[in-house]
Structures are given as structure tokens and as C-alpha cells.
Structure 1
């Protein structure tokens, strides 16, 4: 395998970052380290403490025992900055059944594969909700430095809500195309289900609605909406979900090392020969070099998304980092903001208005889409603004700088957004304010699918990265698949993950 050098890599996380709303209430594990120096040897090293890394650790320790019953793998998680300070701590905070994504999948891979993809999305929400409801975590109100004594479910802690989500389309031509595409996809999936005896696999269609006609704008509350789709969704506080998982796995024995970047990796021979759940690769152990020492690992999981090529340079031209931006909007300030200490400029929202509960993707045209997630406190998380900067690649493409904002998006896109697009908000924008604006780094791939599985040519290096800004819709089950590959020795195909996710040489561009 290629080995990175010890110098600072341009695709390692930026030393400083903007403050997202999700991180304004830091968990007591935010800068936690299990020891002053990293462990000498572990069975599994997970690089990255976002949702990919946390879920992999959770599934690894929560699944059925391995071939040597009674043995629990030793696991360490390494994070360059604070826990969950990357893309997961900066995203939209929702996952959905997404009819348009299913329709596009049908077009590319056929109706049978489309059915499988829909069932995958449905299972993810069900399993993610069940996980959050089954875990008990300690609350962390107060100064954010010490855990409180109150206990609750992770679902309560991360404000998880099983809700609905709208895709609303206001462009006439796009509305016609969406109606035709969804109608054809539904017909094709119904036909293949009948042909293959899979009628039960289309039950989920009963939870999806396509809406058109004179009342679309009234029902969705989106000004000018021509057509819309409605589907099941989960809304949550992503940082709190991940930190709850990290708290859970740390309690199970996982070692966590924040502010501990893995700067390079190399192969070394296995001189330990210690009893382990995992055998050592024929290539030997992997040494992970950090400022706090070196750890030897029998298995390595690369869960660093956009930053993965810093340690796996063969992905340099395959998974490209790119900047995006989001904000928190509040309505009519009334009280000091929870984010005041972070330099936010607005206050908590006024509760004297109808509460939005559905999440949205708002499509103003084929190249314009915002995501929108209402929070229980009455504020909303809004992400987007790409039409302003997409054509200027110097503003976002192949960049890992989440420490600065993208010029102009706040003033020219986010300010007044609710009044321009939502019924019930003043068109002049005077009843809304921007609380926080932040930047996040996504990992983009040419075919829009993540890279998952064994790194080609390796038997002990696993990757789950390149989620194209849609990781919430797949990572929980992808991480389960990676955990099963390590723990149970199964192949990628046996995980049941979509075949297009598999990382194979044909999908990896020559980095030379």
C-alpha cells in the first residue's frame, strides 16, 4: 500500500473551524482522551469520530460474538480535532426516504435495484431510531465540561423526531420532469415486484405521497410550489446522537483520543503474537503515528470522509473535499441565545407562532436546492446557497477550510430566506434573524456514491468515506456492514449494502 509521509497533509482537517449550532452545547467527551498517550496495540483502530466512526464502533461491540466467544476486540478511536467536529457536526440533521433519489436509482440500475435501495433507506431509519431508543446516556446540561447525573434515552438526548419530509419544486419544467420520473419509477417497481413475487417489498410506497394541483403551496407552506413529494423522515441533533454513541462505546471499553490526528501510517511486522479476536494480515500490523505516540493495529477503519486521501493517497482524485454552508435562523428575538458565548448575533425564537415540524428539500430549479430542518425550540437549520458560488470552484472545490465562511452567502442568500419562501413569514424578512453561519467539508465522488469496504489490495484496511453530503441516509447501515466484515469475516456482498457503494479499482482514479 502507499504510505503517507509525516509532513502536514493539505487534506488533514483545518486547525480552526467555524462554530456550527450543533456544537454550541459541548459534551463532556468533546475533548476527551482515554490516556495521555495512545495505546501500544489494538485490534481495531478507527480514524474519525463522526457518525461513521462512532457507528462502526457501536456495531462492532453490539453485534453477535465473533468466532472466539467471550473475546471482545480492543478498539481505539482517533480524532484530529474535537469529537464530531467534522461534517456530521455541521450537517442538516435529518435523513429521509427520498423519493427522487429512489427514482434516479431506478433509472440508473433498474427497478429491482430501486426496490432494494428504498428498503435500505427504510431500514436505516428504523434501525437508527431503535438504536437511539435503546441506549441510555447521561445528560450534560450546565457548563458543558462535566456530565450531569440525569439519564435519558439517546433519542431524547438528541431530540430525535419521527416526522415527514417534503421535496417542494417551484420550477414549472422541473415539476413536470419530477412528476414523470416518479410516476415511471413507481410503475416500473410495481411491475417488477409483481413479476418477482415481491409485492411486500413495495409496501413502503404507501408512506410516500406525490402532490400536485392548486393547494400544493398551501399544504407545503412553500411559496410558488408546483408539485411536492412527502415521505417519512428522522430529524435529530447529529452531534448529540454521535456523542451519545461515543459515550456508550467508551463505557464498553473503547478508547477515545480527540485532538490526536493520525499523521501517517506504515506497515510493521507483528512481533506481539498476542491472543486476539482478529488475525494479523500477511502484510503485518499497521502503525498509526500521532503526536501522542504510535499505535499498532490489526484492523484499521478509515472513517474520515473528505480527508481520507491524507492517509490513503490512492483516493486523492476519487474523493474530493468540498465546502458547503449552513445557518440557524430564529424568529423574532425574545431571550438570550444558547449560542451567545459563541459570538452569535441573534436570540432564541419567539414561540408565539405555528411550529414547523416537517423537514424540507426546497428546489427552486434543477441547480438550486436547500435543505431545511425545523428544531423543537422553534429555530430552523438551513443549508445551501450553492447557486451563488458553485461556478467559482476556488470558493469551495478541493478545499478543507471550514474555518472561514463562503463570501456573500449569509447576506445574499440566507438573510430573508424564510420570508421569500415560506408562507406565514414576513416577506420583508423583519421577523427572522440569522443566529449562526458555518462551513462544513463534504467528500464528493464522481459517481455520487460512497466508497465502502476493503481498500483494494488490502485485507485489514476498511474504508467508509465520500458520502457526497448525504451520509445521514446511509452511514448507520454502512457502518454495520463494515463491522460485520471485520467481526464475522463476511464479504461486502454478504452485508446487503447497495452494490454501487463497494470500493473497487475501477472506481478509483489514478492519483499519479
Structure 2
């Protein structure tokens, strides 16, 4: 793993695999708000995914103007525009680890943030009329490994005791037989179901959500510059930063790195600290025996070596009823080792794609039936995520570097972390000298998410949780 983490992080590749969510690129995909790059800005945000867009929206809503956003490729072409469409936390799976390492109060705070993030994302889409196929629904974890099943039950029990009421996830435990009957799994296929746990989650097109959010930002004055990769950062004597791009340089009072798995390319101190990891996703047509009314929930399938995650496209959406399933990392060569450290989303691992392709008839068995006459696989693609040594995001001002701000490294769970982390980052950026605002932030934002020199010295050993 040391060798993989040491691979120099590059810029995003110019010709990535085509994402299912971007088969019809939006009209702002290649937008440059101004023909030339401005000479200066109050804030430069690097990255146009959910983090960059959410930071921009919060800053603009609070009155900041003269914000420039730089994107290396098309708008929202990174991890956000390439994910599996899930707004799902697996909080009970990490709760006991967080409690052991950081204490019960912090574990509870993380759990509440993740649930609040899911609710906030879907509520925002509804409030602003963003057509992103938002489906705020339940999810189920189908567990096949006895050891993980026992650990899951312990995690749920601990959360129920620690969070008896208030903003806490509500878990329902299902026996193996209930899982087979209610969720169409485990008959005529992989029948080794130990049980299942269902709870609140959702699905959406993160690409369409963020495109809608960027349009709101453009209305508020955001200057978006796509196909403008940031090549380097240089401190300006007296304050501020100079950002070099392929189209010249721009000076900013503040810089926000919303660059997730690519962060170490711009700021070398993150090399080996935020490690890229390539994820694989497929879109598949449902088998002919699958419920015509659609599946009632989203899914994760948890087995000894790892997990897969899955949503079904809602009625009325393009390619309705398609099943989007990703994961299978551990099915790759040497447990997916070669997926770490790479920023190459132009190709995929054939072993992992084959594992995903073969997974659905096995999970659903008799409920799958024969394949759709048009074929099972519609599309496969990859995307680059960012992982940290302690399994937590980095949020805050870069230690020792004034006005260089970071919100990165979301462990493949950005859709349940990025929104609230962006809100927290903006509070930090605007809260200097505003003790009351910072005190409110500390009431809900985990201190351990904040970037520190101590965390920057940790060694990466692989994906956690």
C-alpha cells in the first residue's frame, strides 16, 4: 500500500470513461462565464462537484461576490458526476469504531451529521425545484457474512442506546426469511442471507443536482471556468494566492480546494495523505422477473470480502427501472490493490466489471429471471474518490497557510458528507472573530473532521469501514 499511496497524483484525465449520468451533458457543461480568465477574485474555488458548488452557493447566499470556480474538465465531471446515485450512510457500521476512538459524543455527532446531510440534500432539491430524480426513500443492507451480521447487530444496538430519540437513524432488523420475502433476495441465487437492516436513505442523479445548484450560483454571479485546470498554487507576499492555469494566472484573496482525490496534485503535502481510489459502477437493465412496479428500496449487499451498492432508477426518469450497481473492489486483483493511487478513470478493471455484471442474477435469483432482450449491461464507467488515513474528511484552513481552505477526502461517501462539510467550511471562512457562529458550528460539526498537522502526519494503510 505504501507504493500505491506514493504514486504521484495527476490532474483529471481529459478523456474519462463516459458516465451514465452524463450521457446527455447539460448546456453549462463547457461553460466559461467570461471569455478570458479574470485577473483576480475574492475567492477561487477549485472543483465543480457537490463540494465546490455547495461552498459557492453558501458564500454567494451570505453576500460574498467575485467568486471564480475553476474546473479541469466539464462541469461536475469528477466523482460527483460519476457516482452510484446513492444518498446512503452506513453509520451503524462505523459507530462502534468512532465510539472507541473518539468517544460517544463524537460518534453521535457524526451519525447525526450524516442523517442531516441526506435530508438536507433532498430537501434542497425539492425547495429549489431541481429535477434530479430525487427519491428520498428507505434502503436495505442484505448481509451474507455471519461475522458482519453480528457486528451489524451490535452497531445498531449501540446506536439505539446512545441515540434514543431526536435526529437519529431508525433501524429495522429483518430475519433472513423476511429479507427473502420483502426484498426479493436469496431464492434461486445466493441464498446465504443472514439477515437485513433497513433505514432511511435515498437516490438521485448527483450530476443533475449539482448542475441545478451551479445554475443557481450562476444566477447569483458565480464565474464558472470549465476546461481550466489549476496547475499550481503560489503564495503572494502580503496575502492571497496566485493560481496558475492552462489559460494564465488568477490571484485570489482566498482559495478553496474542492478537489477530493486529486488534491495532492495541487498541494503536495497531501501526497500519501489523500489517496485516490478508482471506483467502478455499472448500469444494468432489470431481469424480466423483477417487480414491474419497481423495487421499494435501495440496496447494499454486504459479504465477507466487501460490499456492493445499488439503486433502481425511479419511474418517469430516463432509463426508468435501470439498476445502477457499483462496488466489488475486493474482487479485483489482490483485493483491488491496483485501484489505489490511480487517477486514471479512462479505463476499468475487467475483473471488477465482470463481478458487477454477474452480481444481480446471483443476488436476486428467481426474482431476476432471464435477462432483458436488449442485454443486461447498458454502461460501465469509473471515477476517482479520495481516502484519508483515518477514514475521515479534511475540512478547514490548511495548517500554517492563511486563506487556503480545504474540504476533501470523503471516503466514497460524499453524498452523505459533502453538503454539511461545505456548510461548515463556509462558517469557518466567514466566522473568524465571530465566536457565536463558531460555537454554533461546534455544536453539530465533528471536531475530528477539521484538518490538523497531526492528522496530516498519519500513514495511509487502506480503506476503512
The two structures share one fold, judged by TM-score above 0.5: yes
Please tell me the root mean square deviation across aligned C-alpha atoms, in Å: 2.3
How far off is 1:494 after superposition? 5.1
Aligned partner (choices 205, 221, 234) of residue 237 of structure 1: 205
**Which residue of 2 is the match for residue 497 of structure 1?**
445
**Which residue of 1 is the match for residue 16 of structure 2?**
17
**Residue 37 of structure 1 contacts residue 293 of structure 1 at CA under 8 Å; is this kept in 2?**
no
How far off is 1:97 after superposition? 4.5
How far off is 1:213 after superposition? 4.9
Aligned partner (choices 66, 71, 75) of residue 79 of structure 1: 71
**Residue 165 of structure 1 contacts residue 358 of structure 1 at CA under 8 Å; is this kept in 2?**
yes
How far off is 1:262 after superposition? 0.6
Aligned partner (choices 323, 332, 339) of residue 380 of structure 1: 323
Cα deviation digits, residues 451-510 of structure 1 (max 9, x gap): 110100122010011111111111001001111222333587752321221110011138
**Which residue of 2 is the match for residue 446 of structure 1?**
389
Structure 1, unmatched stretches of 5+, are: 1-8, 66-71, 136-152, 191-198, 270-282, 333-348
**Residue 80 of structure 2 contacts residue 207 of structure 2 at CA under 8 Å; is this kept in 1?**
yes
Relative to 1, partners in 2 of residues 1:46 and 1:126: Cα closer, same or farther, differing over 3 Å? same
Structure 2, unmatched stretches of 5+, are: 1-7, 315-319, 460-465
Q: Secondary structure at the match of 1:96?
A: coil
**Which residue of 2 is the match for residue 57 of structure 1?**
56
CA distance in 1, matches of 2:290, 2:411: 35
Structure 2 counterparts to residues 308-347 of structure 1, below 5 A: 308-331=263-286
Aligned partner (choices 254, 258, 268) of residue 299 of structure 1: 254
**Residue 286 of structure 2 contacts residue 323 of structure 2 at CA under 8 Å; is this kept in 1?**
no
How far off is 1:170 after superposition? 1.2
Q: Secondary structure at the match of 1:214?
A: helix
How far off is 1:409 after superposition? 2.2
**Which residue of 1 is the match for residue 361 of structure 2?**
419
Moved more, 460-469 or 118-127: 118-127
Q: TM-score, normalised by structure 2?
A: 0.88
Q: Secondary structure at the match of 2:33?
A: coil
CA distance in 2, matches of 1:401, 1:508: 25
Relative to 1, partners in 2 of residues 1:259 and 1:503: Cα closer, same or farther, differing over 3 Å? same
Q: Secondary structure at the match of 1:204?
A: coil
Structure 2 counterparts to residues 182-221 of structure 1, below 5 A: 182-187=156-161, 189=162, 200-201=165-166, 204-205=168-169, 207-221=170-184
CA distance in 2, matches of 1:363, 1:110: 26
CA distance in 1, matches of 2:9, 2:110: 35
Structure 2 counterparts to residues 469-484 of structure 1, below 5 A: 469-484=412-427
**Residue 121 of structure 1 contacts residue 473 of structure 1 at CA under 8 Å; is this kept in 2?**
yes
Relative to 1, partners in 2 of residues 1:430 and 1:499: Cα closer, same or farther, differing over 3 Å? same
**Which residue of 2 is the match for residue 248 of structure 1?**
216
How far off is 1:95 after superposition? 1.6
CA distance in 2, matches of 1:101, 1:502: 18
Larger radius of gyration: 1
- 1:289 and 2:228 aligned: no
Relative to 1, partners in 2 of residues 1:13 and 1:43: Cα closer, same or farther, differing over 3 Å? same
**Which residue of 1 is the match for residue 352 of structure 2?**
409
How far off is 1:288 after superposition? 0.8
**Which runs of at least 4 in structure 1 moved beyond 3 Å after TM superposition?**
101-104, 349-352, 423-432, 490-494
How far off is 1:266 after superposition? 0.9
**Which residue of 2 is the match for residue 275 of structure 1?**
none
- 1:222 and 2:185 aligned: yes
Cα deviation digits, residues 415-454 of structure 1 (max 9, x gap): 2322100155446656760111011111111111111101
How far off is 1:109 after superposition? 2.7
Structure 2 counterparts to residues 90-105 of structure 1, below 5 A: 90-98=82-90, 99-105=92-98
